[in-house]
Amino acid sequence: MDADDLRIVDAVARIGSMNRAAAELNMVQSNVTARIRLLEEELGVQLFVRHSRGVVPSEAGLRLLSYVEQIRALFQQAITAVKEDGTPKGKLRIGMLGTTAGLRLPTLIAQYAQEHPKVELAIITGTTTSLMNQVVEHELDGAFVAGPIHHQELSEESLFFEELVLVSSLSVRNLDDLAKVENLKAIVFREGCSYRQRLSSILDGLGIRYVVMEFASLDAIITCITAGVGITLLPKMLVNRLWTDQSVTVHELPVDQAQVETVFVRRHDRYPTSALDTFLNMSRQISDVAILDRQLEAID
């Protein structure tokens, strides 16, 4: 079994057809079929179950496929490591929470793109859970998520601390008023979002009944809050930037409920490329500036 065999197995499983997989791989069908048969004979198991519409992986095939992406990622890391010369270049895939992107992304990305034009930078937003899974599965080089996290395959580095505030319509003057709102809507990101979990904990602690409204983007949540549809939980710094016209009420929370840590996670075993190291160094500089600003605010 070699890398080409795994590439063929992956294509057949993904497409569900020997013929169409052969076309994608620029091979003739007989060669694809022969390679699969030889591999099954070598391993002593059936990798695919044939049916009238094509093929599907057997249980043994599914077990093999679980390693294919890892092996492909290792091959790519090996190629990257060999070509590494200290100059940031190549593809860099970074995950971010939507709120982190809204706060930190513009300045960081603009500076990084200007200073390192050879890097193909892609930013993917999502929830803490989804981003962590993508890092584990080698789909992302690293991600900013809500911490702390404890995962045996990931390392984490604390970079930012945010103060969360509860945001509502102007009609809700204080937290006591929330209990009086009929059919209170909690405007949140999809399942797996740490802010969603914390908002639920806060409302449950206050004994407030609510209905969850789930959205996939920060823009959608902002639109709902501006329209007075419900309440949400967001970083105070982001709220200050978005609602300068004071069209919402901002409710401050106790320190234990308000403070959230943003950490950068990456795989322990992933090769630290110059592109990623440089991106992290720039992130640390922004983090240092944020800490200094908070200290100056405290003095004032």
**Which residues does 35 contact at the CB level (< 8 Å), separation at least 6?**
4, 5, 8
d(CA 243, CA 61): 53
Sign of the CA dihedral running 265, 267, 268, 270: negative
d(CA 221, CA 168): 11
Lowest mean pLDDT among 45-59, 136-150, 281-295: 281-295
What is the structure's pLDDT at 298? 45
What is the structure's pLDDT at 290? 52
| Residues 153 and 228 placed together within one structural domain of the fold | no
d(CA 95, CA 201): 26
| Residues 58 and 198 placed together within one structural domain of the fold | no
Residues pairing with 119 in the sheet: 90
What is the residue range of 117's domain? 90-160+261-298
Q: Of 41, 65, 83, which marks where a domain is finished? A: 83
Q: Of 65, 83, 101, which marks where a domain is finished? A: 83
| Residues 255 and 166 placed together within one structural domain of the fold | yes
| Residues 255 and 265 placed together within one structural domain of the fold | no
Q: Is the pLDDT of residue 289 over 60?
A: no
pLDDT 10s digits, 169-187: 888 888 888 888 888 899 9
Closest to 215 (Cα-Cα) out of 252, 185, 173, 239: 185
Residue 80 and residue 271 in contact, taking contact as beta carbons nearer than 8 Å: yes
Residue 115 and residue 275 in contact, taking contact as beta carbons nearer than 8 Å: no
Q: Of 83, 104, 130, which marks where a domain is finished? A: 83
What is the mean pLDDT of the segment spanning 36-54? 90
d(CA 62, CA 48): 9
pLDDT 10s digits, 99-146: 877 777 778 888 898 999 999 999 998 889 999 999 998 889 999 998
- 55: which 2 tokens? 């093929």
- What is the CATH classification number for the domain harbouring 214? 3.40.190.10
Count structural domains, the chain.
Answer: 3
| Residues 32 and 42 placed together within one structural domain of the fold | yes
What is the structure's pLDDT at 278? 93
| Residues 270 and 153 placed together within one structural domain of the fold | yes
| Residues 173 and 97 placed together within one structural domain of the fold | no
| Residues 12 and 141 placed together within one structural domain of the fold | no
What is the structure's pLDDT at 288? 58
| Residues 64 and 202 placed together within one structural domain of the fold | no
- 268: which 2 tokens? 């322990």
| Residues 153 and 269 placed together within one structural domain of the fold | yes
